[in-house]
Structure 1
Amino acid sequence: MTFSERPHVMLVISSLGAGGAERVITELAAFLAVKGYPVTLVTLEGDRADHYSLSPDVRRVRMDIMWESSGFFASIAGMLRRLRMIRRMVRAAGADVVISFVDMTNIRVLLALAGTRIPVIVSERTDPRRHSIGSVWTRLRRYCYPLAARVVVQTEGVAAWARTWLPARKVAIVPNAVRRPSDVADNRPAGLPHGNILMGMGRLSVEKGFDRLLQAYHDSGLHEKGWFLVILGEGPERYNLSGLAERLGIVDRFLLPGLQVNPDAWLKHADIFALSSRYEGFPNVLIEAMQCARACVAFACDSGPADLVRHGHDGWLVPADDTAAFADALRVLTDNPALRIALGEAATDISNRLTGDTVYGQWQSICDQVAAQDGKEHVRFKRAGAGE
């Protein structure tokens, strides 16, 4: 495919808030634009501020269609109106391939473009086996995903699940790329305490399991040894976590600094990074910690940590949901500074395994395959001047 023949790629997501999916779709848009693809990035929410900066070569569209609907019939009418607006917007833009991120947005896009012959690639950004979207949306996913040209997942575990009900040829595995640490990552953040640091990072929500991290920190004796526990992020569990810290008697060495503009600077000064999630789609924060040469301990939850960490070589894996074993792992690492250094140094190899060129090159290949195969009918359909 020549430079001038690149298909127009449209990327769709609910918003560009502070999340892993949002970061990936922003970087993918920039990568494709550099490669010569006409790229449009669409968000369904219109009034939410962007957390990530977008390449000037990427066209930005804010639809502002995620209004509230009250009542069953109003919800149905609102859904149908959204679908019509998405369909008209995609066709007016002249998109040749559409890439949608995150389950419910994927379903909306597939329904909106049904019958248009515009190929749609959908990307699951979490583990559907653990992340509930409700019975209605789950049934809609089962109905809609077979309409997709490709279903992209991030781990082998989710791919195996998808292949039980989708054609294997439609399922592709693309992990997330490493992100180059900030140039100012070596500067010590003003709010970071002096002393040994156990750090977690992520949305303060139930699935991230920070309650278990607090318990393991307490049970391991790190508090008595003078270690600090710092968790970066914001979310609905902040109040509950603060209350748990008080009950455990660790509040004097427990910090919740919130979202940070430069989390790399915090990671660089951690002695141990802990991933306590009950489940993951793909743990971007674990990649970032490994890239920063941190000794990492993680629950081997569904799904992602076991795809990244080679136990005892570049990190420490703990059986899922075994908080006592997690506390034991913390004790092992705190008592062995040499082991922490060795694990951290080995962990930096993640930068070679998941480079941006490698990962986003896989996305580019999928786009080209879909445009060459599934997109042929769309091109003929578009040239024929077919309407809605």
Structure 2
Amino acid sequence: MKRKEFLISIFLPSLGGGGAEKVALKLAEGFVNRGFNVDLVLLKAEGPYLNLIPKKCTLYVLNSRRALFSLFKLVKYLKSRKPSVFISNLTHLNIVSLLTKLLFTNKIKFVIVEHLNFTKSFKYKRGMKKYFLYFMMKSFYPYADKIIAVSQGVAMDFESLLPGVKQKIKVIYNPIPVDEIIEKSKEPLNHPWFKDSQIPVILSAGRLSSQKDFGTLMKAFSLIRKELKSRLVILGEGEERKNLENLAKSLGIYEDILMPGFVDNPYKFMSKASVFVLSSIYEGFANVIVEAMACGLSVVSTDCESGPREILEDGKYGKLVPVGDPEALAKATMETIKNPYDKEFLILRARDFSVEAAVSKYLEIIE
């Protein structure tokens, strides 16, 4: 089939400011640049990334509050558009997508993408919903034509959870647009903290959620401040904001912490910070580590499952510390501030995760 006759559909809940959404948009752009038709299918037309939809993509909005409620609208979409391949992201959407495959018999290839280490995320989820989710995964994931894992750790986790789908799993690292990031990192940043080179700025970014464990980062920062005058900036928004603000006040570090919320261009912060710190309890790939490295910024990360150890190659490109250990995090951060990694060394590593490489690997399995 000619590429101009080949339709790729990418399914997302919305275009909220998360890593999965950013990755999907970069893949869509990559497919369009290779001459493919691309539909972007959303449950809801909302989120800060709406203005980043590639011009040649066609947007379809199902107008559903929940994934399950979109089932029949999704079947209608598939009957109407008849895509060659349907790429679904995130567990709840993956389940609904595979359910539509059973209801819709047209020869569409269904590819699902898993962005998290399910075992670790399962451990920290509350209530009975997680057991239902696992049951649905066991029931429907075997019907996927391919399962994309965003890291080796995610792949290994799914092989242990669902051994029957092992042959369908393929690891494709998330695409990171390094040159685009470098260009955006050159934009001016008009904040006094980033103009005083005498006081180091520790940077982190991500949804303000329990998964990111910014509480441990704040505790580490309080230890750092006892030995080194410094400041902490956390980019992102989320349900833990109030708790984190209260923790900062109780630790006596509130005046030296900045939490500006979601920002359109985090890279201008990265290019001017002293070190980037990821404090997560679990991840799938940790895009933000590669993004920081693309800006030439040294990284300290928890050795969480999955992603950081693979990206940093067992500590070659940045220090790894145990999860939930503020003392170890503080020590590694101070060492990195005093002895940062070579910028070109980090940028070169970031280029290993290019958009072009990811798009080529996707096309190997869907063409």
Q: TM-score, normalized by length of structure 1?
A: 0.85
1:282 Cα deviation (Å)?
Answer: 1.3
Amino acid at match of 2:209: S
Relative to 1, partners in 2 of residues 1:183 and 1:345: Cα closer, same or farther, differing over 3 Å?
A: closer
Q: Which residue of 2 aligns with 1:213?
A: 217
Whether 1:276 and 2:266 are equivalent positions in the alignment is no
Q: Which residue of 1 aligns with 2:82?
A: 94
1:224 Cα deviation (Å)?
Answer: 4.8
Relative to 1, partners in 2 of residues 1:120 and 1:54: Cα closer, same or farther, differing over 3 Å?
A: same
Amino acid at match of 2:348: D
Segment drifting more, 265-274 vs 224-233: 224-233
1:223 Cα deviation (Å)?
Answer: 5.3
Q: Which residue of 1 aligns with 2:70?
A: 82
Q: Which residue of 2 aligns with 1:151?
A: 147
Q: Is the 8 A contact 2:276 2:297 kept in 1?
A: yes
Relative to 1, partners in 2 of residues 1:303 and 1:91: Cα closer, same or farther, differing over 3 Å?
A: same
Relative to 1, partners in 2 of residues 1:22 and 1:40: Cα closer, same or farther, differing over 3 Å?
A: same
Q: Which residue of 1 aligns with 2:251?
A: 248
Whether 1:196 and 2:195 are equivalent positions in the alignment is no
Q: Is the 8 A contact 1:200 1:273 kept in 2?
A: yes
Whether 1:238 and 2:241 are equivalent positions in the alignment is yes
Among 311, 316, 319, the residue aligned to 1:316: 319
The number of equivalent residue pairs is 351
Q: Is the 8 A contact 2:182 2:295 kept in 1?
A: no
Structure with more helix by fraction: 2
Amino acid at match of 2:144: A
1:291 Cα deviation (Å)?
Answer: 0.9
1:192 Cα deviation (Å)?
Answer: 4.9
Q: Which residue of 1 aligns with 2:126?
A: none
SS at match of 1:175: coil
SS at match of 2:173: coil
**Share of identical aligned residues, percent?**
27
CA distance in 1, matches of 2:211, 2:247: 16
Deviations 1:96-147 (A, max 9, x none): 2110011001111110121514221000111111223621122111111000
Whether 1:136 and 2:126 are equivalent positions in the alignment is no
1:160 Cα deviation (Å)?
Answer: 1.4
CA distance in 1, matches of 2:30, 2:305: 29
1:208 Cα deviation (Å)?
Answer: 0.3
Q: Is the 8 A contact 1:178 1:350 kept in 2?
A: no
SS at match of 1:129: helix
Deviations 1:129-177 (A, max 9, x none): 1223621122111111000000111111221122232332200101112
1:329 Cα deviation (Å)?
Answer: 0.9
Q: Which residue of 1 aligns with 2:110?
A: 120
Deviations 1:332-362 (A, max 9, x none): 223x3xx2043x4422122331111111111
Q: Is the 8 A contact 2:15 2:50 kept in 1?
A: yes
What's the C-alpha RMSD, in Å, of the aligned pairs? 2.0
Amino acid at match of 2:217: L
Relative to 1, partners in 2 of residues 1:64 and 1:3: Cα closer, same or farther, differing over 3 Å?
A: closer
Whether 1:360 and 2:356 are equivalent positions in the alignment is no
Amino acid at match of 2:118: P
1:88 Cα deviation (Å)?
Answer: 1.4
Relative to 1, partners in 2 of residues 1:145 and 1:184: Cα closer, same or farther, differing over 3 Å?
A: closer
Whether 1:185 and 2:173 are equivalent positions in the alignment is no
Among 285, 288, 293, the residue aligned to 2:291: 288
1:182 Cα deviation (Å)?
Answer: 5.3
Deviations 1:247-300 (A, max 9, x none): 111112111111111111001111111000000111111111111111110001
Deviations 1:40-65 (A, max 9, x none): 11001245564451112111101102
Q: Is the 8 A contact 1:26 1:52 kept in 2?
A: no
Relative to 1, partners in 2 of residues 1:324 and 1:223: Cα closer, same or farther, differing over 3 Å?
A: closer
SS at match of 1:287: helix
SS at match of 2:137: helix
Q: Is the 8 A contact 1:18 1:51 kept in 2?
A: no
Q: Which residue of 1 aligns with 2:228?
A: 225
Q: TM-score, normalized by length of structure 2?
A: 0.90
CA distance in 1, matches of 2:61, 2:24: 15
Amino acid at match of 1:168: K
1:184 Cα deviation (Å)?
Answer: 4.5
SS at match of 2:39: strand
Segment drifting more, 320-329 vs 56-65: 320-329
Q: Is the 8 A contact 1:229 1:254 kept in 2?
A: yes
Q: Which residue of 2 aligns with 1:54?
A: 53
CA distance in 1, matches of 2:350, 2:273: 19
Relative to 1, partners in 2 of residues 1:192 and 1:111: Cα closer, same or farther, differing over 3 Å?
A: farther
Amino acid at match of 2:230: W
Relative to 1, partners in 2 of residues 1:197 and 1:142: Cα closer, same or farther, differing over 3 Å?
A: same
Q: Which residue of 1 aligns with 2:156?
A: 160
Relative to 1, partners in 2 of residues 1:47 and 1:177: Cα closer, same or farther, differing over 3 Å?
A: closer
1:30 Cα deviation (Å)?
Answer: 1.5
Q: Which residue of 2 aligns with 1:170?
A: 168
SS at match of 1:114: helix
Q: Where in structure 1 are there 5+ consecutive unaligned residues?
A: 68-77, 369-388
Q: Is the 8 A contact 1:107 1:144 kept in 2?
A: yes
CA distance in 2, matches of 1:188, 1:224: 30
Q: Is the 8 A contact 1:182 1:262 kept in 2?
A: no
Segment drifting more, 286-295 vs 314-323: 314-323
